[in-house]
């Protein structure tokens, strides 16, 4: 079994070996390094700060994650390692989306929407947004030919083959969430004013408006059969809308705004999530089948992915059971970014390792220097010296 673990700002993949837990050989973030390793590529850095988005690829082969450190990272689940990393140069949370064929990832950087090819690792701009308030929502059409993005109060539909905008759906409020119908004929949008709008893609016209939420809609999803829309709102409620009859069922009992909603694969259950709790609920009876601690980020064929504190959990969607929760023993990792952001200084406080201080190139993760230390790091104002605690209980200053 495998699970994705984020610990002290580091994303790691861990494996279950025998009856005990041990770090997998592929993911060796902040491991003990010999001096001969200096200068060799080492990109298993993980994220430095809080993760804000995670997606599982359609074939469940890869996971992509983004963080407040402005990095987007691709993880190979089977081989348990981080394989690619890019800087998105964007401080806002930005949506990530795998193409339906799993060959590339689309993301926004505030000024443009970019495509990241998984096989080649090449990144290229698909089109300009030209507005820093746009590009926070990026969604693929089911056939992979189009993507929809937000742009102030407008949904923009782009043809990926021609790299051009083909439709624009103008709303009255800021767009908070978007989804395509399973047949690709409709788009649904959740607005800042709490309304939900259904759009016909071919005609470009608004078909229906669903009113009922008292605050903005943070997440929404079409049901697998395309007959229902599920919405979660800042008003701390979840609503299930019958598209044809416009009848609505409301699910209450949330103490915080609802950040994420989705359907189970059979369409008989819903997954709803706040920052601190995720529920699996039977639609017919409204009974809570299972409650997990943490915020859900994605639902795939076999898994629900949740973040809780500084770790991430995988749950099996069929048996609704936590697969594994891995903790990084008693070790901790501290990282420092110097003001120029050219270097990363990391410290591993695991007492079982001697070399605990690493200076890395931020761009490619290459180790530039290593020092024996106990992990307490400080950087001088002129960035010429670092200070750290040694195993002899002395403070050492190193240039």
**What is the block-wise mean pLDDT of the chain (399 residues), using blocks of 10 residues?**
33 30 28 33 52 83 79 75 72 75 83 84 74 67 91 86 88 88 96 95 94 95 97 97 97 95 92 93 94 84 71 63 37 45 60 59 66 61 64 48
CA 20 vs. chain centroid, Å, equals: 28
Q: For position 203, what pLDDT does the model report?
A: 93
Burial class (CB in 10 A: 0-12, 13-18, 19+), 377: buried
- The span from the CA of 239 to the CA of 249, in Å, is 6
Q: For position 49, what pLDDT does the model report?
A: 66
Q: What's the order of all strands across the beta sheet hosting 260-263?
A: 260-263, 269-273, 277-282, 288-293
Ordered by where they begin, the domains of the chain are 2-17+49-324 (2.130.10.10), 18-46+330-399 (no CATH)
Spell out the residues 6+ positions from residue 227 whose beta carbon is closer than 8 angstroms to its own. Answer: 242, 243, 244
Q: For position 260, what pLDDT does the model report?
A: 94
- The span from the CA of 60 to the CA of 223, in Å, is 21
* Cβ atoms < 10 Å from Cβ of 102: 16
pLDDT, tens digit (0-9, with 9 covering 90-100), for 307-317: 665 555 667 76
Spell out the residues 6+ positions from residue 116 whose beta carbon is closer than 8 angstroms to its own. Answer: 72, 74, 84, 86, 104, 105, 106, 107, 122, 123
User: pTM score > 0.75 for this model?
Assistant: no
């Amino acid at each position: 079994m495998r699970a994705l673990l984020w610990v002290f700002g580091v994303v790691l993949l861990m494996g279950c070996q025998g009856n005990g837990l041990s770090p997998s050989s592929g993911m060796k973030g902040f491991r003990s390094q010999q001096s001969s390793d200096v200068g060799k590529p080492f990109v298993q850095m993980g994220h430095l700060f809080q993760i804000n988005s995670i997606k599982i690829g359609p074939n469940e082969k890869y996971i992509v994650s983004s963080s407040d450190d402005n990095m987007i990272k691709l993880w190979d689940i089977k081989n348990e390692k981080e394989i690619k990393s890019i800087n998105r140069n964007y401080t806002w949370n930005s949506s990530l989306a795998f193409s339906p064929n799993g060959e590339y990832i689309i993301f926004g950087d505030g000024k443009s929407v970019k495509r990241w090819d998984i096989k080649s690792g090449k990144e290229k701009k698909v089109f300009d947004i030209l507005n820093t308030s746009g590009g926070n929502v990026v969604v693929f059409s089911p056939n992979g030919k189009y993507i929809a993005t937000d742009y102030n109060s407008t949904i923009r539909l782009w043809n990926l083959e021609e790299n051009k905008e083909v439709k624009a759906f103008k709303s009255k409020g800021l767009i908070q969430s978007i989804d395509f119908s399973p047949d690709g004929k409709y788009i649904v949008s959740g607005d800042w004013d709490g309304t939900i709008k259904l759009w016909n893609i071919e005609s470009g016209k608004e078909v229906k408006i669903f009113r009922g939420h008292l605050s903005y809609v943070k997440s929404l999803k079409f049901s697998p059969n395309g007959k229902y829309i599920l919405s979660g709102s800042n008003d701390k409620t979840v609503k299930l809308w019958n598209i044809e009859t416009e009848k609505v069922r409301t699910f209450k009992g949330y103490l915080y705004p609802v950040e994420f909603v989705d359907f189970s694969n059979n369409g008989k259950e819903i997954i709803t999530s706040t920052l601190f709790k995720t529920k699996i609920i039977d639609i017919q009876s409204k009974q809570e089948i299972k409650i997990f601690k943490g915020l859900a980020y994605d639902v795939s064929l076999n898994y629900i992915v949740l973040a809780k504190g500084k770790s991430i959990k995988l749950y099996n969607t069929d048996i609704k059971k936590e697969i594994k929760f891995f903790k990084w023993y008693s070790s901790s990792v501290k990282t420092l970014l110097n003001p120029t952001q050219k270097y990363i200084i990391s410290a591993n406080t695991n007492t079982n390792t001697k070399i605990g201080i690493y200076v890395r190139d931020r761009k490619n993760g290459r180790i530039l220097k290593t020092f024996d230390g106990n992990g307490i790091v400080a950087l001088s104002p002129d960035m010429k010296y670092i200070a750290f605690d040694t195993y002899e209980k002395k403070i050492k200053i190193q240039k």
